[in-house]
Structure 1
Amino acid sequence: MSSPEISSSSPGSSATTVADLYVRHHGWLQGWLQGRLGNRQDAADLAQDTYVRLIGSGRLPPAGQSRAFLTQIAKGLAIDLFRRRQIEAAYLEALACRVDAHAPSPEYRALIIEALMQVDRALDSLPGRVREVFLLSQFDGLTYSAIAARQGIAVATVRKYMFQAAQACCAALA
């Protein structure tokens, strides 16, 4: 496999490629991730994903900022990993509480978890008040009137926020 030719150069320095960054910083990045994640396999996966994300962005760090740049990408990937695991754990817990005890196939579970991740990202992109109203309705089971009273807003506003949240969820799954 040939190395990507994305390069960055600044006055007075030679060009840097992704391959150069990989050779210079991969071991350090994997060690840094392992220290934060406490798991060698996850650290190795996220280190690789960091370089994949770097290549996909088409950008390279300015001279002297390679580790900070790679760390920023890796932190975002670690947050995504933790969030995915929280969603997966919550789904599996809900599944275990089901009376019918029908366990979906691993493939179907993966599809459900991916859909839940998409909905989570959609809800996370909403304004805080809209997200809060949606969560009060869907997870706390509050009526629109109860939500309006708790939030100090009109029932019509609750309806509007619920519509916004539902649109975001539908768009995420489309």
Structure 2
Amino acid sequence: MSSFDNLYRQQVQRYYREHHGWIRAWLQRRLGHGNDAADLAHDVFLRLLTTPRQFESDSHVRAYLGAMSRHVCVDFWRRRQVEQTWLDVLASRPQACMPSEEHRALVLEALQQVHAMLARLPEKVAEAFLLAQLEGLTYQAIGERLGVSERTVTKYMAQAMYQCMLLEAELDEALD
């Protein structure tokens, strides 16, 4: 480990001591549950460890950690929304058709990754992709709906399909 890495770890430990309490309290107020808040507070600092940053002042550290806390909170609610939708689908199925716990967990993880991938796309790109995949619209119909040319829809779909390929590669790698 380099001296920079060691110094940075020490900085993060200091930030943890100084800011963990208010981050956890803030998350607990938003989530209403202490265990989730504790997990997410740790996630904030794990993100800080994995993406080193230099801060100009203590107020800059606090602002950055506050923004990171908001992001992990939003991510948490998105994951919960995807999970609840999946559970609703399962509840509507006959008991005899229920997948195993392992299969349910794999599907939920894949759904969360697809949801995150769509959230990273520009809004119109994601909308074009969903219109094509879920409603089966042609590129011309998508263009009319979005108020863009068919050529632009083709570009949007290429962007979305590229992200799908990256996600598929990540999933294949995770299963190996």
TM-score, normalized by length of structure 2?
A: 0.75
1:54 lines up with 2:48 in the alignment: yes
Deviations 1:16-75 (A, max 9, x none): 622222222222221111112211111111111111111112235433223222212211
Matches within 5 A, 1:1-174: 5-7=6-8, 17-59=11-53, 61-65=55-59, 66-98=61-93, 102-139=97-134, 141-144=135-138, 146-153=141-148, 158=153, 161-174=156-169
How much does 1:173 deviate? 1.9
Higher Rg of the two aligned structures: 1
User: Structure 1: 5+ residue runs without aligned partners?
Assistant: 9-15
Q: Which has the higher helix share?
A: 2
How much does 1:6 deviate? 3.4
Identity of aligned residues (%): 42
How many correspondences in the alignment?
Answer: 163
Judged with a 3 Å threshold, the aligned counterparts in structure 2 of structure 1 residues 72 and 161 are, in CA distance, closer, same or farther, namely closer
User: Structure 2: 5+ residue runs without aligned partners?
Assistant: 170-176
Q: Secondary structure at the match of 2:58?
A: coil
Note the aligned Cα RMSD (angstroms): 2.7
TM-score, normalized by length of structure 1?
A: 0.76
